[in-house]
Chain A
Amino acid sequence: MGRLRSYSYLPQDLLEEILTRLPVISIIRFKCVNKSWYNLFENHTFIAKHHRHHSSQKNPSLLVEVEDSTTTPQRSVMSMHLAEGLNSGVSLDMPFIPERLVYISDCINGIICLRELSSRLVLWNPAVREYKVIPNPPSHVHSPSNVCYDYPTFAFGYDHISNDYKLVQIGTYSTVLYDLIDQILHPVVHIYTLSTDTWRQIDTGFDHSILNFPGECSNNLYLNGVYHWPGCIILDKHGRHCEVIVCFDMRDEVFQIMKMPNLGDISHIEKIWKTAAVLNDCAALIIYDLKQTKQFDIWVMNEYGVEESWTKQFVIGPLIVELTLHDQLLLVDDKLALINDKGHILLYDFGAQEIKHLQLRNLPGSVFVSQAITYVESLVSVARGKVEAKKRG
């Protein structure tokens, strides 16, 4: 088969189609090809297109924090393809040493929020190797002695209208009476925006009957620009409460309540373990009955915000696996991934309806996975704040 002309001329849009398929490291390198390519790769539309393409690919990646007693250093953060396990893992350069890492947020547009031992917060894009240290949030107002300030929790999100990244700090206060919590007061909420690089306080918009703020665990869910977590509302002063999903809209900066699915009478079941996740772009709740049925119920909210649309879509199990509360549950594409602290990954494929066991490493005893999130690379820059088309030449 012969070639007809030296180099077929490719129209620009076709060339862009091809370039969006490149991994981030290749794109960083090819910014050096010429100035026109550099400008293309800095362009906000291209970056969004690139990330959208890679998000839709069927080869999910995870970012995991791993402790491996056979390697030096022992702790590291790696990205790996789920199907291949840690053997495909690539160790990532972190803004600070992995030993100081406390918390990894969900990955939004390729950016992750990290919290360090000293409570420093950092926004990090591992693919582009850029990070931004977030200035310290305003410290809480000095309060009277009977008021105690709980450790603040954070929600990381993205405002797609202003193309800006936000970090929400929620601090709760409670009054203390004889060393017991008496009353929970208004939470104090501060928001940091990347574009202005500053914190500001906002009015919470809800009253103090809401308990349970996003903790640093896998119960939080970021979807459609809204941050969700399971919470509780006190219904009356007799202490009756009901479980709800509390949401914070990153764009409008308001709190809302969403109803949980009607799980029936589950009060007698101990150790119900709920994890929120995203399945096919819908909010999902994974309910696991640790004691009795040992099966996973996956509820999906097919229509966002419509409480009646909660349907029990899948029931997996019963599984004869030993689970502890430290294990991580993730929904990745159409698979349920269970990462237990011994370093094993259990993958349940909804399509094939089969369970696969993946060993993370050859020596199972040596690996301990502490945190895992789904991860998709992106070119989004954090060091320069809001993404701008920076022209060269």
Chain B
Amino acid sequence: MSNTSENPNPSSSSAKMTLKTSDNELFEVEEAVAMKFCTVKQYFEDEKDSDVAARGSTTVIPLPNVHSAVLTMLISYGKKLPQSNAVADNHEEEETKKKERKKYEQGLLKNLMPGELLDLISAANYLDFKEGLEFFNQALADHIQNKSVEYVRKFFGIKNDYEPHEEEKYREEYAWAFEGIECWLIGELKQFMAKTKTLDIAGTLLGIKPALIVASFSVRGLNSLDSNILKPEMIAPGENILAAWINAIGPTGLDSNT
């Protein structure tokens, strides 16, 4: 997914561009796709005009407002768009392609959390990626259209400035517009349940090289001097794991942590 920027062959024919995200990841992208991001296109064209960068050199275009996770998705969507220089297909081929794209788009949306849509829209707007913006704007509109007022307020972080009696009056007058809308809490729960993942036990893996190493400061076995000192029955990889704790007692028991 992310590569370093070295391009050993400056004269390679499939022109690629390198984009650098806000978290300093580098993406090598085909020019045809990158040009759909008009901000990138503008940058590239400005660079071309200046004498400094020659074509095909490893110019890295910085995108300080776009995170790598978001860019991955936008690039993947950009690749699936019909190319502007493609030969015109006959009607049947066009229909098949349309159906394929629709399937891809539905799959894409299924795995997205609604909040991620906002990030995608912001990024697509910054990049001036018209097709992406159109698609994700519509996706967000489709997502919120049958939601309740409370959901929309929470989603966009909007404060309700109506007096209770004003809101009540409006809801009564336009009751028909509020029919059949599920309470936002139920909606959130449903969404959460749909996205829950289950862990499967993979079993014991043998022969993995290099084997994971237990850190020097972690407990690793029975103390040879005193067998009352216990070893961990189960360990998991990772350092600096943030775990939940109750407010009453801080994570380390130190006063500074409460």
Binding site for B on A (CB under 8 A): 1-4, 6-11, 14-15, 17-19, 21-23, 25-26, 28-37, 93, 129, 351-352, 393
Contact = CB atoms under 8 A, between A and B. Distances in A.
Interface in B171-200: 171, 174, 176-178, 181
B217 interface: no
User: Dominant SS at the B interface?
Assistant: helix
Interface string B136-156: 011011101110110011011
Contact of B152 (A4, A8, A30): A30
Interface stretch (B46-54, B77-85, B119-127): B119-127
Given A28-B177, A30-B149, A352-B91, A8 B122 contact: yes
A351 B91 contact: yes
Contacts, number: 93
Given A8-B118, A32-B162, A129 B176 contact: yes
A371 to B, nearest CB: 24
Nearest to A349: B91
B159 interface: yes
B202 to A, nearest CB: 23
Contacts of A9: 122
Given A7-B156, A29-B149, A32-B170, 18 more contacts: A7-B155, A8-B115, A10-B122, A10-B156, A14-B121, A17-B137, A18-B121, A18-B137, A19-B141, A22-B145, A23-B145, A26-B146, A29-B181, A31-B174, A32-B162, A34-B161, A35-B161, A36-B161
Interface string B221-252: 00000000000000000000000000000000
B174 A28 contact: yes
Contacts of A21: 137-138, 141-142
A33 B160 contact: yes
Nearest to B137: A18
A6 B119 CA distance: 10
Contacts of A25: 176-177
B181 A34 contact: no
B170 A34 contact: no
Given A1-B73, A3-B119, A33 B158 contact: yes
A27 to B, nearest CB: 9
A18 B141 contact: yes
Contacts of A30: 149, 152
Which 5 pairs between the two chains have the least Cβ-Cβ distance? Answer: A21-B141, A8-B118, A28-B177, A29-B177, A26-B145
Nearest to A1: B69
Most buried by B among A6, A7, A22: A7
Most buried by B among A22, A26, A31, A393: A26
B118 A2 contact: no
A8 B119 contact: yes
Interface string B82-116: 00000000010000000000000000000001011
B149 A33 contact: yes
A178 B73 CA distance: 82
A19 B178 CA distance: 17
Given A8-B122, A21-B141, A34-B153, A393 B116 contact: no
A295 B108 CA distance: 45
B153 A6 contact: no
